[in-house]
A and B are shown apart, each in its own frame.
Chain A
Amino acid sequence: MTMAVPQGEGLAVVCRAVTKEFRQGSVIVRALRGVDVEVRMGELTLLMGPSGCGKTTLLSVMAGILDPTSGSINVLGSDIERLTSRQKTAFRMKNIGFVFQMHNLLPALSAMENTAVPLLIARRPRNAALAAARQLLEGVGLGERVDALPSRLSGGEQQRVAIARALVHRPRLLVCDEPTSALDAKSGHAIMQQLRDIAVEPDRAVVVVTHDPRVIEFADRIATMDDGRITDVRETKA
Chain B
Amino acid sequence: MLWIAWRILVGDTAKYLGMIIGVAFASLLIAQQASIFCGLMRLTVSQILDVEGAAIWVMDPDVQFVDDIKPLSENELLRVRGVEGVRWAVRFFKGLGRARLAEGEYQQVVLLGLDDATLVGAPQTILLGSLDDLRQPDAVMMDRRGFERLWPGEPLSVGKTFEMNDRRAVIVGVCESRRTFQTFPVVYTRYSQATMFAPHERKLLSFILVQNEPNVDADALCRRITQQTGLQALTRNGFIWKTIFYYLRQTGIPVNFGITVLLGFIVGVAIAGQTFYLFAVENARQYATLKALGLSDARVVVMILQQAVVVGLIGYSIGVGGAAIFGLLIQNRSKLAFFMPWQVLLGTGIAVLVIVLAVSVLSVRRVIVMEPAEVFK
Contact A121 B373 (CB under 8 A): no
Task: List the A side residues contacting B289 at CB < 8 Å.
Answer: 98, 100, 104, 106
B-chain residues with CB within 8 Å of residue A118 when the two chains form the complex: 293-294
CB of A60 within 8 A of CB of B376, answer yes
Q: What separation, in Å, do the CA atoms of A86 and B294 have in the docked complex?
A: 9
Is B290 on the interface with A (CB-CB < 8 A)?
Answer: yes
Q: Does A101 contact B (CB under 8 A)?
A: yes
Q: Is A89 close to B, CB under 8 A?
A: yes
B294-A121 in contact (CB<8A): yes
Q: Which residues of B contact A59 (CB under 8 A)?
A: 376
A-chain residues with CB within 8 Å of residue B160 when the two chains form the complex: none
A149: nearest chain-B partner, CB-CB: B11
**CB distance B373 to A65 under 8 Å?**
yes
- Are the CB atoms of A108 and B10 closer together than 8 Å? yes
| Contact residue among B4, B286, B296, B376 (Cβ-Cβ distance under 8 Å from A120) | B4
**Is the beta-carbon distance between A89 and B371 smaller than 8 angstroms?**
no
Closest to B295 in A: A121
A113 to chain B: closest CB distance in Å?
8
B285 touches A104 (CB 8 A): yes
Instruction: Judge whether A65 and B285 touch: CB under 8 Å.
Output: no
A89–B3 alpha-carbon span in the complex (Å): 21
> Closest A-chain residue to B8, C-beta based?
A108
Chain A: CB-nearest residue to B298: A86
Chain A residues, CB < 8 A from B285: 104
Taking the closest CB of chain A, its distance from the CB of B377, in whole angstroms, is 8
Count class of interface residues, chain A: 20 to 34
* Smallest CB separation, B30 vs chain A (Å): 31
C-alpha gap A60/B373 in the complex (Å): 6
Do the beta carbons of A104 and B375 come within 8 Å of each other? yes
For A113, what are the chain B residues with a Cβ–Cβ distance below 8 Å? Answer: 4, 7
- Of A60, A106, A121, the residue contacting B286 (CB under 8 A) is A106
User: Are B11 and A89 in contact (CB-based, < 8 A)?
Assistant: no
Residue pair B371, A65 in contact (C-beta under 8 Å): yes
A68 to B99, CA, bound (A): 92
C-alpha gap A107/B296 in the complex (Å): 21
Q: Are A86 and B296 in contact (CB under 8 A)?
A: yes
Q: Is A81 an interface residue (CB 8 A)?
A: no
CA separation between A230 and B12, bound complex, in Å? Answer: 43
Q: Name the residue in A89, A90, A126 with the highest tally of chain B Cβ atoms < 10 Å from its Cβ.
A: A89
Contact of B294 among A60, A89, A101, A108 (CB under 8 A): A89
A66 contacts the other chain (CB 8 A)? yes
Q: Which of B8, B10, B296 contacts A106 (CB 8 A)?
A: B8
Nearest CB of chain A from residue B304's CB, rounded to whole Å: 15
Q: In the complex, are the beta carbons of A89 and B375 less than 8 A apart?
A: no
In contact, B290 and A121 (Cβ under 8 angstroms): yes
A106 and B11 CA atoms in complex are apart in Å by 10
**Interface positions of B from 1 to 18, Cβ below 8 Å from A:** 1, 3-4, 7-8, 10-12
Chain A contacts of B286 at CB under 8 A?
104, 106-107
By the criterion CB–CB under 8 Å, are A100 and B376 in contact?
Answer: yes
Chain B residues lying within 8 Å of A98, measured Cβ to Cβ, are 289, 292-293, 375
Cα of A89 to Cα of B4 in the assembled complex, Å: 19
22 pairs of residues in contact across A and B, judged by CB atoms under 8 Å: A66-B372, A89-B296, A93-B294, A93-B295, A98-B292, A98-B293, A98-B375, A100-B289, A100-B376, A106-B4, A106-B8, A106-B11, A108-B8, A108-B10, A109-B4, A113-B7, A118-B294, A120-B1, A121-B1, A121-B294, A121-B295, A177-B376
